[in-house]
Structure 1
Amino acid sequence: MRFTLSTLIVLSILITSCKGEKKDKKELIKAISYKNKGHELVSKMVEKVGDYRTLRNKKDVVYTYTYQTPDGKTDVTTEKYIFAGELSYGKYEQHERTLSDLKGSIEQGFDGENYWLKHEGQTVKDSIALKRVAFNRPTNFYWFTMFQKLMDPGVSYEYIGEKTLDNFTYDVVKVSFDFKNSKPTDIYQLYFNKNTALIDQFLFTVADYGAMDKPNLMKVEYEEVDGMLFPTNRKYKKSTWEADVSDKPWIKVNWSNIKFNNGLGENDFKS
């Protein structure tokens, strides 16, 4: 069978196209392969709220963080982060529970290498106060990016099964972390809404304070900001691993006035 030059060119294009299509299909299959059902549920949730690449593309964020305990003590902070490098800053205009012995405004920061603290513009070197800063800065940053970071390397997923809470049946996934160091890490138990694929609530520990056997239950409500979903309304209190909470009032947390791409630079995070 003889082919003209033009026919050979067309056949070559078709063969190349088919190979490319097969390659694309293989990449697609690879992209959507999951370690287990727990990993699949987390992955689909992140697809819905927005992944970390989408968040990093927003460069930075400024928002108001309000934290209130049942006795009415309240912290109100202006939080600022640069996502690349996880730089973090917080200015506390009200801090009735965080370093409450320091009257007036305080500023906390992490510049990528060091934690620092200022009280009324003056540098504070107290080691106990700086230890609190070293907890607050990465913790606040992590809470804001938590759902995206559930796809980080070193995260393990275990599908626990279904559980009914308040007449609603959830898919439950246990999440643990292995970061190759001796420091204990937190454990999360996530409750996925079968209708929305979102996490309505989750149990969490606080490893830094040794509270590994007594989790808290966090309930969240979402807000859409700049094309992403954020759990901006939050409340939590002590619980069991069966998600049975106490009768005590909730601790309430709110993120408001969220704004991205503010043009922040590294100098905004230096002491």
Structure 2
Amino acid sequence: MKIKTNLILSAFTIFALTSCKNEGKENKAETPIDKAVEEKQKFQNQAHELVYQMTQKVGDYSKLASKKDVVYTYTYRIPDGKTDIITEKYIFNDELSYGAYQKHERTLPDLEGLIEQGYDGNEFWIKLNGAPLNDAAALKKVAFNRPTNFYWFAMMQKLLDPGLQYEYVKELTINNTTYDVIKVSFNTSKPSDIYQLYINKETKLVDQFLFTVMDFGRTEPMLMIMEYEQVEDLLIPTKRKYKKSNWDAEVTEEPWILVNWTDIKFNNGLTKADFKK
């Protein structure tokens, strides 16, 4: 999951990254030509511009944030068949996050009943069957999962967050599809996660990407492959699978971890009270 938003994997607790604050944009009266020139001047390099073009195809963060909030079902299945089914809820402003684990064979499997976890803008919390849990290890996972799951949902838009660096790696053809390969990293003093995006030159979409999980000491990448779904006026990568790889995007023989997002609904009228413990 930052890009630093670090992904969660390993055992395999939910992959992810921790999210960066999105900055607002001033509304200015300007012509399309002026706007294009302004955006061009903001680009660090060609790689940055290609990421920008991708966000225009899927829908940028201002378009996502205009939806106010989202509710959807998150299904996560590991190779041994163990599955989590979670009702996820986010408010885009302040990046509030809630998850209700209807099924948790992978996450806290020893607990029975409904597990809820949330972030209300100030506090991370977890409850079992309506009763708060104060277990330090469980709360640590919540502090990782909540911003991580939010980031995964908004990742394509948040690839334009402040503090990111972009590098054009190469042009590459895989199975008759040509990609611009872009490295995205954080400008930070400590080790941070790296993304290597494969942007389809024809569709402008990220068909797949490599990522590290530095919070868990994983410097070798995982490969994520995605399929998109049109939801209102956004393209959302709702079908995902990932597993171990190398920096040439060559995967191992082990099975894929499968992730699906379904029943996505925006503008549900959620308030901050819905995210309180």
Q: After TM superposition, is the score higher than 0.5?
A: yes
The residue that corresponds to 2:96 in the other structure is 87
Q: RMSD between aligned alpha carbons? A: 1.5
Given the alignment of the two structures, is residue 187 of structure 1 paired with residue 167 of structure 2, yes or no?
no
The residue that corresponds to 2:15 in the other structure is none
Distance in 2, matches of 1:161 and 1:71, equals 36
Runs of 5+ consecutive residues of structure 1 not aligned to the other structure: 1-19
Distance in 2, matches of 1:174 and 1:28, equals 24
Letter in 2 for 1:128: A
1:200-221 deviation line (CA, Å, top 9, x unaligned):
0000111221112x11000000
SS in 2 for 1:146: helix
Equivalent in 96, 101, 105 of residue 96 of structure 1: 105
Higher RCO (CA-CA < 8 Å; seq separation 6+): 2
Distance in 2, matches of 1:239 and 1:31, equals 35
Deviation at 1:239, TM superposition (A): 0.2
Distance in 1, matches of 2:223 and 2:32, equals 42
Equivalent in 209, 212, 215 of residue 216 of structure 2: 209
1:168-193 deviation line (CA, Å, top 9, x unaligned):
32110000012x5x553210000011
The residue that corresponds to 2:235 in the other structure is 229
1:146-178 deviation line (CA, Å, top 9, x unaligned):
010011110110000112323432110000012
Given the alignment of the two structures, is residue 78 of structure 1 paired with residue 87 of structure 2, yes or no?
yes
> What pairs up with 1:93-242 in 2 under 5 angstroms?
93-178=102-187, 180=188, 182-212=189-219, 214-242=220-248
SS in 1 for 2:93: coil
Letter in 2 for 1:29: V
The residue that corresponds to 2:38 in the other structure is 30
The 10-residue stretch of structure 1 (26-35 or 203-212) with the greater mean CA deviation from structure 2: 26-35
Distance in 2, matches of 1:99 and 1:169, equals 42
Distance in 1, matches of 2:173 and 2:211, equals 19
SS in 1 for 2:38: helix
Distance in 2, matches of 1:170 and 1:35, equals 20
Equivalent in 223, 233, 249 of residue 243 of structure 1: 249
Deviation at 1:115, TM superposition (A): 0.4
User: Which structure's CA Rg is the greater one?
Assistant: 1
Q: Which runs of 4+ in 1 moved over 6 A?
A: none
Deviation at 1:36, TM superposition (A): 1.2
Change in Cα spacing, 1:246 to 1:134, as seen in structure 2 (3 Å) is: same
1:223-261 deviation line (CA, Å, top 9, x unaligned):
000110000000000000110100111000000000000
1:6-27 deviation line (CA, Å, top 9, x unaligned):
xxxxxxxxxxxxxx98x87444
Q: Percent identity?
A: 61
Distance in 2, matches of 1:183 and 1:127, equals 25
Q: Name the structure where helix makes up a greater proportion of residues.
A: 1
Distance in 1, matches of 2:32 and 2:231, equals 32
SS in 2 for 1:242: coil
Q: TM-score, normalised by structure 1?
A: 0.88
Letter in 1 for 2:199: F
SS in 1 for 2:157: helix
Distance in 2, matches of 1:27 and 1:241, equals 36
Distance in 2, matches of 1:100 and 1:216, equals 25
Given the alignment of the two structures, is residue 67 of structure 1 paired with residue 67 of structure 2, yes or no?
no
1:54-113 deviation line (CA, Å, top 9, x unaligned):
111110000000000010000000000000000000000101111112111100000001
